[in-house]
Amino acid sequence: MAALLALLPILVVLILMVVFKWSSVQAGFAGWVAGVIIALLAFGLNFDVFWVSQVKGLLLTLNVMLLLWPGILLYNIVDQVGGIRAIAVAFQRMVRDHGWLLIMQGWMLSGLVESVAGFGLPIAIVSPLLISFGVSPILAVSTTAVGHTWAGSTGGMALSLRLMADITRHTPEELFPASALLLGLLIILSGLAVAIMLKQTRHWWRVLIAGTVTAVVHYFAGMLGAIQVSALIAGVAGFLTGTALNRTPRETRGSREINPALEAGEIGYGVLIAVMLTVALIHPVNAFLGQTTWTLQFPAVSTPGGILTPAESGYVFHVFSHPGTLTLFTIALTLLIYRLKPAIPRVDVGKALQSTARSGIRASLGTLFMVGLSTTMEHTGMTQTLATTLGVLVNGSYPLFSPLIGVIGSFATGSNVSSNVLFGLLQDKVAVLVGAAPAMVLAAQTTGGALGSSVAPAKLALGTSTSEARGHEGEVLRNTLPYAVAIAVIIGIVTLVIS
C-alpha cells in the first residue's frame, strides 16, 4: 500500500500528460501537489522537511535555468543571422550520394542541432530539409525524431546528465563514462535505424564508421573535461567524417565565396567550443575561475517516521566556471565579433531575448515542479519505498528494464531532463538494492530518456509544426515506437550484462 501511494504522484504526471494531453507545467504542478498531499498524509511530511526539500529543489532549478537560458539565447542569436540554416545548406553541398545525404541529415545533422538547441527544434529544423529532397513529411519527421536522440543526454550543455547527477548526488564525471558507453551504442543504433527507415541500408558500413568515430570522440571529449560540449564536439566530428566518406568532387562544390550566414554560425559555436575547452583543459584557468562559489546551508530534518536528512549544503554554484556563465561570455564575445564583421547582419538582441523567454519560461516552470516533486519524495522516504518494492519484484534483472523506464519518462513528460528528475533517484536506489552498478543503471536511465524523445508527443508536436506532418503526430509515433522499443531492449541487455 505504501508503495502504491508513493507511486501515485508519478502516475498523476504520466496520466495527465499522456491521456489528458496536459502540458508539462500543468501536469508537473498537479504531480507536485499530489506528492505534497500524500507525503503529508502518509509519509510524515512536516514544515521543516517541506521547506528544506523545496528550497533545495529551487537551487537545482536555478542551476537548470543558468544552463538552459544562455544556451537557448545563443541558438536564437545564431539562428537570427541565418547561421543554423547556412550550416545545413553547406552540408548538403558537400555530400555527393543522395541516400547518404538523407541519412546524414536525419541522423548527424539533427544530432548537431540537438547538441546546441533541443526542445524539439532538431525535428522542426531538419525535417523540412529532408522533405525538400523528396522524403514524405511523415517519414521525414519520423527519421529525424529517431536520428537526433543520440545527443539528447549530453547535448544542450549536458543539462540532462548534469541535473540527474545533482538529483542523485553523484558528479557528472562519475556518471559520464558509463553514459558515454551506452550513448555511443545509441549513436550507432540510431544511425542504422534512420538508414532502415529511409530504405538506405546499403550505407550501413558508412553508418558504422561515422557512428564509431562520433562515439569515440564523444567519450574522449567528456573524459578530457568537456562534458558540457561533448555532444557538440562529437557531432562536428561525425559530421566531418560522414562528409569525408562521400565527399562531393572539388570542381562541383560551387562557389568558394564566403557566406556571411555560414561564417556567423561557425563563429557562434566555434567560440563556444573554444571557451569550454579552454576552461576544461587548462587547469590554472579552471582553478582560478572555480574559486568563487555560492550555496546555501541546510539543517538536518526528519519525519516522524524516522526518515532523516542530514545537515548539508545545497547545490554549489561555481559562479565563473559554471557552463551558463561561460555561455554568456560566449554570447558577448560572439556579438562583439559580429560587430567587427560588416557582412554579418546586425543582431536584434531584444528579439532574441523574447524568443528565449518564450521557450525558457515554460521549460523552467515544468522543471521547477518536477524537481520539487522529486525532492519531496526523497526527503519523505517515498523514493526509498518505491525502490525497495521494485527491488523485490525484479531483483537482479532490474538493469534490463532501466532504459525502458527512461523512455517512459520522456514519453510522458516530453523531456529527458524531466525523465531523469522523475526517475533518477529511483533508479539509483534500486540499483543499490539489487546489487547493480548505480552509474551503469543511471547511464541506462539517461540513454533511455534521450531515446524517449523519439516517441514523446510534446516533442513530436513541436517537430511537426514546420511541415505538412502537422496534426499527424500519431502516424509519426507509430513509425518511431518500434525502433525506440527495440533499441531500448538492446541497451537494456547491454546494461544487464555489464552491471
Of 125-134, 276-285, 381-390, 394-403, which one has max mean pLDDT? 394-403
What is the model's pLDDT at position 255? 47
Cα–Cα distance measured from residue 188 to residue 206, given in angstroms and rounded to the nearest whole number: 10
Question: For residue 463, is pLDDT > 70?
Answer: no
Dihedral of CA 25/413/191/153: which sign? positive
- φ, ψ dihedrals at 207, nearest 5°: -60, -45
What is the model's pLDDT at position 58? 92
Segment 221-270, tens digit of pLDDT: 999 988 988 999 999 999 899 989 986 555 444 444 568 999 998 899 88
What is the model's pLDDT at position 418? 77
Considering only residues 486 and 269, tell me which one the structure prediction assigns the higher pLDDT: 486
Cα–Cα distance measured from residue 443 to residue 391, given in angstroms and rounded to the nearest whole number: 18
Outline where 414-498 has alpha helix (H): 416-434, 438-451, 457-463, 473-498
At residue 182, the 3 state secondary structure works out as helix
Record the cell numbers describing residue 121, joined without a space: 527544434
What is the model's pLDDT at position 277? 80
Question: What is the average pLDDT across 168-177?
Answer: 94
What is the model's pLDDT at position 204? 97
Question: For residue 315, is pLDDT > 90?
Answer: no
What is the model's pLDDT at position 495? 96
Q: What percent of the chain has pLDDT over 70?
A: 93
Q: What percent of the chain has pLDDT over 90?
A: 47
Model confidence band, residue 455 (pLDDT cutoffs 50, 70, 90) = confident
What is the model's pLDDT at position 253? 45
Least confident window among 18-22, 276-280, 493-497: 18-22
- φ, ψ dihedrals at 319, nearest 5°: -55, -45
Query: What is the model's pTM?
Result: 0.77
Over the chain, what is the mean pLDDT? Answer: 87
What is the model's pLDDT at position 415? 77
Least confident window among 100-109, 223-232, 268-277: 268-277
Please state at what angle helix 172-197 crosses helix 137-147, rounded to 10 degrees.
150
Considering only residues 64 and 10, tell me which one the structure prediction assigns the higher pLDDT: 10
